[in-house]
Amino acid sequence: MSGLIGKKIGMTSIFDDKGKNIPCTVIEAGPCVVTQIKTSEVDGYNAIQLGFDDKNDKHSNKAETGHLSKSKSTAKYKLVEFQNFDQELTLGDSISVDHFTEGEFVDVSGNSKGKGFQGVVKRHGFAGVGQATHGQHNRLRAPGSIGAASYPARVFKGMRMAGRMGNEKVTVQNLRVLKVVSEKNLLVLKGCVPGHKNSYVIIRK
């Protein structure tokens, strides 16, 4: 499925024709350079590798520099493969935000914000157990019992407990493209997308 690599700029809101205030996300999408074309004869499958966001050559190793030199491209921070691309491309081609049109729907993937180690109330939405009176000490946000007694005498896999939260790949589907600003490579999508500001996201049709 064809798409582009982008960078999340932040959120804002715009008004539609009926005066409704719509929350939206601004993404810097492209320009992306075709850094590799994979074919079923050579690689076993068909795919297009795109590179996004220039970086200084001194920050890339020789293997990366040699790989990108085939497409005559500068060093890139982000390389992503797209299968079943909907247009014919050659090595070194540049794809801009005009790849998308206003009104169409896209899926956006990215890494969610990391929250660190969190308890069950924040991580899983537990209500908390017990009460605040009658000698209650510090168990208001505790998870309570996590298993039975002598049978089954163990804790089942998948038990919702405290632990690391966030920093996982998340895909938000069917976000409508509200506006395409070609001169600034900006894409305005309805709703929110995963990740913090300046994080990389993948936009697929």
For 60-99, what is each residue's pLDDT tens digit? Answer: 888 888 888 888 888 899 999 998 877 788 888 899 999 8
Q: Examine the domain organization and report whether 113 and 123 are in the same domain.
A: no
Whether residue 105 sits in one domain with residue 47: yes
Both 154 and 192 in one domain: the answer is no
Asked if residue 106 and residue 17 are part of one domain, the reply reads yes
- Domain with residue 102: its CATH number is 2.40.30.10
Same-domain check for residues 125 and 82: no
Distance separating alpha carbons of residues 201 and 170, to the nearest angstrom? 10
Mean pLDDT over 2-11 rounds to: 93
Contact 83, 37 (CB under 8 A): no
Q: Is 182 helix (H, G, I), strand (E, B) or coil?
A: helix
Average pLDDT value over all residues in the chain: 91
Confidence of residue 114 (pLDDT cuts 50, 70, 90): very high
Residues 56 and 29 in one domain: yes
For residues 51-65, average pLDDT: 88
Verify that 158 and 186 share a domain, yes or no.
no
> Residue 101's pLDDT is what?
93
Q: What percent of the chain has pLDDT over 70?
A: 99
Q: What is the pLDDT of residue 20?
A: 93
130 has a pLDDT exceeding 80: no
How many domains would you assign to the chain? 2
**51 and 81 share a domain?**
yes
- What pLDDT was estimated at residue 102? 92
Q: Which helix (H) or strand (E) holds 64?
A: helix 62-69
| 17 and 112 housed in the same domain | yes
In 16-148, the DSSP E strands lie at 21-29, 32-38, 47-54, 76-82, 94-95, 105-111, 114-118
pLDDT score recorded for residue 137: 77
Q: Does one domain contain both 40 and 96?
A: yes
Q: How confident is the model at residue 154 (pLDDT cuts 50, 70, 90)?
A: very high
CB 80 within 8 A of CB 202: yes
Mean pLDDT on 164-171: 96
Q: Does the pLDDT of residue 204 top 80, yes or no?
A: yes
Q: How confident is the model at residue 145 (pLDDT cuts 50, 70, 90)?
A: confident
* 95 and 64 assigned to the same domain: yes
The pLDDT of residue 68 is 87
**Quick check: 138 pLDDT over 90?**
no
**Of the given ranges (101-105, 108-112, 147-151, 181-185), which has the lowest mean pLDDT?**
147-151
> Structure pTM?
0.84
**In terms of domains, do 9 and 109 share one?**
yes
Weakest mean pLDDT among 17-21, 125-129, 164-168, 183-187: 125-129
- Domain coverage including residue 161: 118-166
Q: pLDDT at position 6, please?
A: 95
